[in-house]
Each structure stands twice: as C-alpha cells, then as structure tokens.
Amino acid sequence: MSRIKTDICVIGGGSGGLSVAAGAVQMGARVVLIEGHKMGGDCLNYGCVPSKALLSQAKAVKARGDTPRAEDFRAAMAHVKSTIATIEPHDSVERFEGLGVQVIQGFARFTGPDTVTVGDVTISARRFVVATGSRAFIPPIKGLEDVPYMTNETLFTQADCPGHLLVIGAGPIGLEMAQAHKRLGARVTVIEGAAALGRDDPEAAAVVLEHLRSEGIEIVEQAQVEQVSGRAGAIEVQVKGGTIFVGTHLLVAVGRAPNVEKLDLDKAGIRHTRAGITVDARLRSTNRRVHAIGDVAGQGQFTHLAGYHAGVVIRSVVLGLPAKARHDHIPHVTFTDPELAHIGLSEADARKRYGGALSVHKVGYDQIDRAQAEGQTTGFIKLMAVRGRPVGVTIVGAQAGEVIAPYALAMANSLKLGAIAGTVLPYPTLAEIGKRAAGAYFSPKLFDSINVKRFVGMVQRWLP
C-alpha cells in the first residue's frame, strides 16, 4: 500500500470541493483531491446545469406557440448533453492536475483522525475538507423499489418525451422539471404530500402555482403517497384516501440526502446526523482537522452556498484566518417560469423576530415599464426592512433570480436601503423593481411627514 502526505485533502470533486482544491493549490498548498464518481459533481452532471439547459429549451418551444413535436424533446436532451460537455473541461481531472492538484479517483474512507484510504493508497493530511454533496432522497414508499422510477440522476438520459409524467414532490426540482416536460409535450401530474413550494412565501408561491396550472400541469397538494405499483409505461401512484394516479413515467423529487455512508466518519470521530456532518461556525466537524462544506454540511443545498463555504474554508485552512460562515445572506431561486427568488427572512419569520419594528413594502411587476413593454407583468417584489436595512426579500416574476442580485450584494455587505435607492439604473430594466421597493421604504418618511413639509415650506420662504 502506498502512502501520500499532503497539506489538504479534499474529498469530493463537486463545485465546493473543486473551488477549495483550485484555490488552495494556487496559493501554494499541497492538495490531494479524491472523487469517487464524476468530476463536477451533481451540479454539472445531474443538477443545476442539465436542468437549466432543459428549461431553456422548453421555454423556447413554449415561445414558438405551436404543438411540441417529438424531435423537440430529443433536441432538448441533445442540448443538455452539449452543455455539460462544454463545461466539463473546466472541471476535469486534466485541468486540476495541470494546476498542481494530485487527483485520485475512487471512494475515500477515513481510517483514523488524520488518514483516509482510497483503494491501496493511504493519504494523511494536516486538514481534510469533506465536500461529497448529496443525492436524491428515496422515501420508504410501499412498492417503489419494484417499479421503474427516475431521479435527477437518471432523468436526463431519456430518449423520448414521457406520455404522462408523474412527479412525487412539488419542491423546486419537481416543479421545474414538471414545467419543462409539460412544455416539451408531456402530460404532467405533480403529487405533493403537504403544500407545493411549502418552504417559500405563500403569496409568492401561489403566483407560481397558478401559472403552472394555467399551462395544464396538474398539481395535487395534501396527497400523501401510500403505494406505487405497475410497470414501465403503466405506473400507478396511490395516495391516502384511495385516489390512484396513472402515468407512463415516474420522477421522485422529495428532497436530498447527504452522501456520508461510504466515508466511515466514526473512525475519524466525526459526528453526523440525517442532515449531514455536524459543523460549527467555522465549518469544522467534531474532528477539528476535518471541515465539511456544501450539501454534506447540512446548512443548505445550493451550488452557490458550496462555493461560499469553499471561500470560508480556504481562508481558514490555507491562510489560517479565523473565518466563520453566515447564512442570512444566501439567496435561493426556483427556476420555474415565473421564477421565485428569496433572500433572508420570510415575511412571517421577520414579523416574529422584529414585531412592530418591521415594515413590509410590495411593488408589482405591473408598475415597471420594462415589464409592461415585454408583457411580463405577473409577479411582485416584497421587501422586509428594519431601521433602514433589508432583512428579507422575496421576488416572484420574470428573471427574479437576476433581479434579486442587488439585494444579495446589500445583505452580504450590510448595506442600507439608501444604497439601493440611490443607485442609478439603466432605463428601462426589470431591476428597477428592486430600487422601487427601496424607494417605497423612504416615501412615507419624505412625502407623508408633516415635519418634512414644514421644513420644505421654511426653505422655500428663505430661498432668494
């Protein structure tokens, strides 16, 4: 058995792990990167990249305005593969070896507090970063193991459009893929045991759900799945109460589970739960030599969060700085049409925390000239503010994931709303809705204040 000694050993070649490896090696650290499956991880191969590529093609078919054709689905899947292939070199073994990273392909297992093995290789390191990500959670539904079903890991291998796609789970993944498949020609039924988009602002979620239903997607809420049966092309999903939904294909999209099983974490003294590896504010596990980032750290399941975690860990394990992670400024987006974006506290949570100190300001897309010009007037921004600072923002509407960017900047850097209200934006753009919301915070103080009006009256009398 061969042995390798290194400064930093990164386990997992997804977005977070690759960011740590690239940053650390370019700063002069010796780095070993271990990946047991595909470089680029879930995001590149099964998640963000293929799903957004599929959504883009589905949107183009929708815009065409006629009936989807069989070749549309095949062309969309070809675009998915092409997109992945274009990005792959950036995440490849060759690129990282070129940077100076020693890449080992295989599954790592801890054998002690400062060692892991991969096949017949033992790696000892001063610090480890676990970035193994997550996978689709498969619920314990009776009969599920006996029928063919898809997850995000197999969804993009389809050759032909499903006749009738059944989706279990009405979260972001389930609804994004429901809309994409509907626009590409499938009949779609989404089955949700609780409320669809239940973690989002109910008012904003309702806008998305109304639009999806208007496109012909059947969304059934408060329908707990009890049993699945059938065969390829004829799958039955039975919910509590006895209702049975019949379709040709089944997609399971009920959440994610952290990838920890193969790591033998106990041998390294690393505590973990169903949510993932237990970490402190510095993203250190209960073994202080080992950090965890991204999905496996149990702090959220977003590629951009993993990238942020990578930056925190680089400052800590490479530069020796006392860096800590915060999560109040991490945005998330559901990329349906219309999009739903959020950052910070929801309205309900903000009211609980701040009570009467909170003010809520809502501006509709229909008040924005660019939205009117493009016929994209559905949706709104909702700003939660306390003492001149944003504490939460929800946007539902066209390009919400882009429009929320100024508030992500503001909340990451503790900027006041005056910074947004005072920004000059190009006209006409959808981004004006964010500035309009900030202006709504100041308007009552300026235009409804008796003191301001008295002061202005005095100034006008004094001016020559």
Q: Is 352 annotated as a binding residue?
A: no
Q: Is 377 annotated as a binding residue?
A: no
Pairing of strands 115-118, 121-130: antiparallel
Neighbour-count burial of 150, counting CB atoms closer than 10 A to its CB (0-12 exposed, 13-18 middle, 19+ buried): buried
Q: Is 355 annotated as a binding residue?
A: no
Q: Is 35 annotated as a binding residue?
A: no
For 49, phi then psi, to 5°, come to -65, -55
Pairing of strands 290-292, 358-364: unpaired
Lookup: tokens for 316: 């800590």
Contact by Cβ (8 Å): 254, 190 = no
Q: Is 124 annotated as a binding residue?
A: no
Alpha helices in 344-431 (DSSP H): 347-354, 369-374, 400-403, 405-412, 417-421
Q: Is 409 annotated as a binding residue?
A: no
How do the residues of the chain divide into helix, strand and coil, expressed in percent and rounded to 5? Answer: 40, 25, 35
Q: Is 97 annotated as a binding residue?
A: no
Q: What CA–CA distance (Å, rounded) separates 153 from 251? A: 10
Concatenating the DSSP letter of every residue in 367-388 gives G-HHHHHHT---EEEEEEEETT
Q: Is 174 annotated as a binding residue?
A: yes
Q: Is 171 annotated as a binding residue?
A: yes
Q: Is 28 annotated as a binding residue?
A: no
Q: What CA–CA distance (Å, rounded) separates 32 from 54? A: 34
Q: Which of 156, 154, 147, 196 is nearest to 174 (CA)?
A: 196
Q: Is 112 annotated as a binding residue?
A: no
Q: Is 375 annotated as a binding residue?
A: no
Q: Is 255 annotated as a binding residue?
A: yes
Binding residues for FAD are 52, 132-134, 295
Binding residues: 52, 132-134, 169-176, 192, 255, 295
Which amino acids are annotated as binding site for NAD(+), given as ranges? 169-176, 192, 255
